[in-house]
Structure 1
Amino acid sequence: MDNSHHSTSTSPRELDLQDIACALWGGRKIVASLVLGGTLVAAAYAFLSTPIYRTSVSVLPPTAHGVAQYNIVAQLTGEGIASITARKEIKGIPPLTPQDAYRVFLRHLSSDTLRQDFFTNTYLPAQGQNISENQQERLWLKLQDQLTITLPRREGDSAQLFLEGVDPQTISNWANDYTKAAIAAARSELMADLNAAVEVRRQSNERQISALRRVAEKSRTDRIQRVTEALAIADAVGAQPVPPTGNLLIDYKDETLYLRGSNALRAELEQLNERKTDDPYIPELGDMLRADALLSGISLPSEQLAVATVDRIATPPVNPSYPRKGFAIAIGAIVGLILSVLIIVLQGSMRRDRRNED
């Protein structure tokens, strides 16, 4: 019985809250020292490290008014031509919706091409001269962290561009310029596609006009040949015009063309040779020329096409985004407190173990 009681009384006892509280009170100097030390280290880091600023640009889709001029041009290539010609089934350029234009803008905004162009022409020259390839690679990776683009998740939402750096004015200018470059690239692509589509239709129409004129010229040449031969026959046989009969019109075919008489044939031949243009004798040419005039007159300044609406431009930030001084100091004090508690609890546990061993 005595041995059992002795074993129970000397068994190790776990630390309870009262023991921990007593230990902390006894080590209050350690707690104060580590909390103060952590706070001072964090404060030194917060106030001595280079502040990093962050700015942003918010961009929304364009309005319907922003793509209206584009769609007017698109309409002219279809319904516009049909309204001034007899050709009613003309397929024009497809219209452009605000979301279509916005998608092109977002593709350029998030493209590596634009980012590489910004890095080469703007970001890299600002870092100084004589930069080695290894340094360029590190700067490129740094830019990937500093430049962040958030694409909209739903239709109609805004896209966000974030840029970090040490100079507030510089990063705000860069963010705005980057957005303008994306807008210009998207606008240039859409305008190039539009102009190419108009040019294809214009050249196709011009080729049709040229073909009609070549056919008319060949027809006139053939007619001259036929009239010349008929005139030779009429002169040879002394043919005179057939006296008028009850018919109002007499249609002389190629074989009987000489029956029109030498005078009529000679007059027609003279007119055919003196004719400067065959355009009045081409029935389809009028529609073609009207379409050509319409297509040739199409002009849309790129500034009249909107691919995005800048909802908020980047402005120079006043407060740095990193480090946040108050947050850093608080973290330093908390870390100091946690370390001091762990040290005091560990010391108390070690002393208790030694007493148990004794």
Structure 2
Amino acid sequence: MQDNPPRSFRDDEIDLVELFQSLFKQKFLILAVAALVTLMAAAYAFLATPHYQVQSILRPVDRGSLDELNSTGVYDLTPSEALSRVGAGLSSYESRLAFFRDHQALFSGLIEPGRSLEQVFEEFNRTSFTMLQVDPKKAAGQSEFVGLSLTYPRGVEGVEVVNGLVTFVLETERARIDSDLKVLVANRLLNIEQKINAARASYAASKEARIAALLEQDTLTRAQLQDELHALRSELKTRRQSRIAVLDEAIQIAESLGIDNPTTPSSMSESQRQGQVVRTEVNSREIPLYFMGSAALKAEREALNARRSDDFIEPRIAEIEKELTLLKQNRQVEILEKRQNEDLYLKDLAEWRQEAAQLKGIKFDTSALKLVRLDQHALEPLAPVKPKKALIIALGGVGGLMLGIFVALIRNLLRPRQTNKP
């Protein structure tokens, strides 16, 4: 019985020893590819346009730097708010574009034919500027700051761009504060003027209402006094007529009794004691009027009939006439109408004028206003940040070596392989 031949590996299986031997045989190819890639990386590292990086850091000022502005009583700005406003200006696309348009000489290396200034700036702004701020996750242990970082190619004056942009934003914010301050002062003054005009209108209306009320009260009082006067005179006339009627009756009684002169009941009784006896019973304390005698009663009646006015009998009538005379001219109304400087009677006018004088006296120079503290100026960089030559060459060498090995492996796979025959 014949022994079975030993089994061999299939054709598609890889012998590691053979693979390493194949790679070793192609070592010069691998080294050549690695050298070529490394050379290409070195060429790129030395021929690529270098890019530099500069930055500027801003921090809040102390409160004393803004005290003069805040002491105006119109504008209130804290150091944190000032830093935030400057940071917003630095990150503003509009501010950067305005600076770019005003300082095109600093960006001469970016100008390319066929591209507008806006297109050139759009690309540069998107890829070159970076805002530096406190990390919110680590804000507890960091002091507040705002920074601007610029990565720029050769041909751009990066240092002047960053420092110039910071100065430009600061000047813009100062101008904006100056404009806001003037607007606030003007609005405050306009508001005060409106208050004064409203107070004048209110005073004029209240004065007219007061005069009308006083005159109306005088008219009412005058009418009431005249009514009272008319009622008193009517009463006095009625009383006079009633007295005349009483006198007529008493005269008739006196004549019927033969009493011509004033007498008393007792006297009359004694004179008639020898003749006819007249008994008179007096129940009231007053002596009947007819005892005055017909002569006296007739004299009084004639006097009453001859009277033209009863005013002197009632003292109140004199008082009413006095009051009516006083009501002919209301001195309070006369004084109100003769007022010349009515502003003196306006409430809070002195306070408003004092505030207006203070506002008009505000002469704040914002050009010297210190909004932020410049912690770090942009300085000329010592070396470019990219391309990083050593790293590129090293990566090129590693990549070239890997590529060489890959090429060697491909060649090894594509090479026809020998098989053992029985």
Q: Give the alignment partner of residue 97 of structure 2, picking from 116, 136, 145.
A: 116
Q: Aligned pair 1:171/2:154, yes or no?
A: no
Q: Distance in 1 between matches of 2:190 and 2:60?
A: 34
Q: Distance in 2 between matches of 1:48 and 1:290?
A: 72
Q: Which structure has the larger Rg over C-alpha atoms? A: 2
Q: Distance in 2 between matches of 1:133 and 1:60?
A: 38
Once the two structures are superposed, residues 14-35 of structure 1 have per-residue CA deviations (whole angstroms, 9 ceiling, x without a partner) of 242x444433332221232222
Q: Distance in 1 between matches of 2:63 and 2:420?
A: 85
Q: TM-score, normalised by structure 2?
A: 0.59
Q: Aligned pair 1:204/2:203, yes or no?
A: no
Do 1:169 and 1:316's aligned partners in 2 also have CA atoms closer than 8 Å? no
Q: 1:259 and 1:174, CA in 2 relative to 1: closer, same or farther beyond 3 A?
A: closer
Q: Residue 196 of structure 1 aligns to a residue in which SS?
A: helix
Q: Distance in 2 between matches of 1:259 and 1:141?
A: 86
Do 1:168 and 1:316's aligned partners in 2 also have CA atoms closer than 8 Å? no
Once the two structures are superposed, residues 268-321 of structure 1 have per-residue CA deviations (whole angstroms, 9 ceiling, x without a partner) of 99xx69x6x555565643222221111111232224544433221111112111
- Any unmatched runs of 5+ in structure 1? 78-92, 222-251
Task: Please state how far the C-alpha of 1:348 moved relative to its aligned partner.
Answer: 2.9
Q: Aligned pair 1:195/2:177, yes or no?
A: no
Once the two structures are superposed, residues 249-280 of structure 1 have per-residue CA deviations (whole angstroms, 9 ceiling, x without a partner) of xxx9x9758598xxxx9xx99xx69x6x5555
Aligned residue for 1:144? 126
Number of aligned residue pairs: 303
- Any unmatched runs of 5+ in structure 2? 209-322
Q: 1:356 and 1:314, CA in 2 relative to 1: closer, same or farther beyond 3 A?
A: farther
Farther off after superposition, 286-295 or 124-133: 124-133
Q: Aligned pair 1:355/2:418, yes or no?
A: yes
Aligned residue for 1:106? 87
Q: Give the alignment partner of residue 108 of structure 2, picking from 91, 101, 126.
A: 126
Do 2:45 and 2:392's aligned partners in 1 also have CA atoms closer than 8 Å? yes
Once the two structures are superposed, residues 107-134 of structure 1 have per-residue CA deviations (whole angstroms, 9 ceiling, x without a partner) of 2221221122233333487358895456
Aligned residue for 2:398? 334
Task: Please state how far the C-alpha of 1:137 moved relative to its aligned partner.
Answer: 2.2
Aligned residue for 1:313? 377
Q: Residue 290 of structure 1 aligns to a residue in which SS?
A: helix
Q: Distance in 2 between matches of 1:2 and 1:196?
A: 115
Once the two structures are superposed, residues 226-245 of structure 1 have per-residue CA deviations (whole angstroms, 9 ceiling, x without a partner) of xxxxxxxxxxxxxxxxxxxx
Aligned residue for 1:294? 358
* Percentage of identical aligned residues: 22
Do 1:53 and 1:168's aligned partners in 2 also have CA atoms closer than 8 Å? no
Do 1:12 and 1:356's aligned partners in 2 also have CA atoms closer than 8 Å? no
Q: 1:28 and 1:118, CA in 2 relative to 1: closer, same or farther beyond 3 A?
A: same
Aligned residue for 1:48? 47
Once the two structures are superposed, residues 325-346 of structure 1 have per-residue CA deviations (whole angstroms, 9 ceiling, x without a partner) of 2122112211211111112223
Q: 1:255 and 1:53, CA in 2 relative to 1: closer, same or farther beyond 3 A?
A: farther
**Aligned amino acid, residue 399 of structure 2:** V
Q: Distance in 1 between matches of 2:124 and 2:369?
A: 35
Task: Please state how far the C-alpha of 1:173 moved relative to its aligned partner.
Answer: 0.3
Q: Distance in 1 between matches of 2:114 and 2:47?
A: 29
Do 2:109 and 2:155's aligned partners in 1 also have CA atoms closer than 8 Å? no
Do 2:49 and 2:154's aligned partners in 1 also have CA atoms closer than 8 Å? no
